[in-house]
């Protein structure tokens, strides 16, 4: 089995949201201290023995998180139309990060979204 390196980056932001439908009714507006982690897998290192440039991927994930920092997520696309569940937020971050110019020679394996210190959802594609 070939070697594999796991590279993780994260961002944090404060944002409010409310689910448009939760148990048959809109959920009250509330906020979270969100944390988003991205896990990249790499089997090949470059000529400098680097699998993925931390600076590059941290800049990307932080820019994505900054869109929501101290904002009402329900007003920011795509969550102005898509229910802003943690599951949908995780899928959105995954799709935004899973681009060749961001992941470089690595594979984006998983995105984990924390709504606070005790609850998270992870999203991956098999």
Mean per-residue pLDDT pooled into runs of 10, the chain (126 residues): 88 97 91 97 90 93 98 98 97 97 93 95 94
Check residue 17 and give its pLDDT. Answer: 97
| Prediction pTM value | 0.94
pLDDT in tens, 22-56: 898 889 999 999 999 999 999 988 899 988 998 99
The CA distance from 79 to 3, in Å, is: 39
| Homologous superfamily assigned to 5-123 | 6-pyruvoyl tetrahydropterin synthase/QueD (3.30.479.10)
Peptide bond into 31 cis (omega under 30): no
Q: Both ends of the chain: CA-CA distance in Å?
A: 19
Check residue 2 and give its pLDDT. Answer: 73
The CA distance from 62 to 45, in Å, is: 24
The CA distance from 89 to 83, in Å, is: 9
């Amino acid at each position: 089995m070939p070697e594999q390196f796991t590279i993780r980056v994260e961002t944090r932001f404060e944002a409010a949201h409310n689910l448009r439908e939760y148990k048959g009714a809109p959920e009250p507006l509330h906020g979270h201290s969100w944390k988003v982690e991205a896990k990249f897998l790499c089997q090949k290192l470059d000529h400098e023995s680097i699998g993925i440039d931390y600076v590059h991927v941290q800049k990307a994930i932080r820019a994505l998180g900054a869109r929501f920092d101290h904002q009402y997520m329900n007003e920011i696309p795509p969550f102005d139309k898509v229910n802003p569940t943690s599951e949908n937020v995780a899928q959105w971050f995954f799709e935004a990060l899973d681009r060749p110019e961001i992941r470089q020679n690595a594979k984006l394996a998983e995105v984990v979204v924390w709504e606070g210190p005790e609850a998270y959802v992870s999203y991956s594609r098999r």
